Amino acid sequence: MLDARRKRLWFRCHHCGMAENDVIFGRFAERHLEALSDDQLDRLERLLEENDVDLFKWVTGKAGVPAAFDHDVMALLRASAEERD
């Protein structure tokens, strides 16, 4: 059972605004959200405040990740984006 914070993040990950990000972040949420620490949840929340196009470019490797967002959660997102179902 997800707590209120994780439920809110699960929803945000599935409704980013860009369909491509909905898939990437939604898959990430389904696979990792329950296990994230409070600090990791903080980092995810900060990421979700960024522009969808920038997020897509960073996660897919089409642009470099700014130092402020180059952390463990980004690494998990990038790995999740590379996985195939």
4 phi/psi in degrees, rounded to 5: -60, -40
DSSP-derived letter for residue 61 is T
Amino acid at 19: A
Indicate the length of the chain as a whole number: 85
Q: What is the pLDDT of residues 33-45, one digit of tens each?
A: 999 999 999 999 9
> Residue 20: which CATH number?
1.10.150.250
What domain range includes position 54? 4-82
* Structural domains in the chain (count): 1
pLDDT at 21 over 70: yes
For 47-60, write each residue's pLDDT tens digit.
999 999 999 999 99
- pLDDT class of 2 with cuts at 50, 70, 90: confident
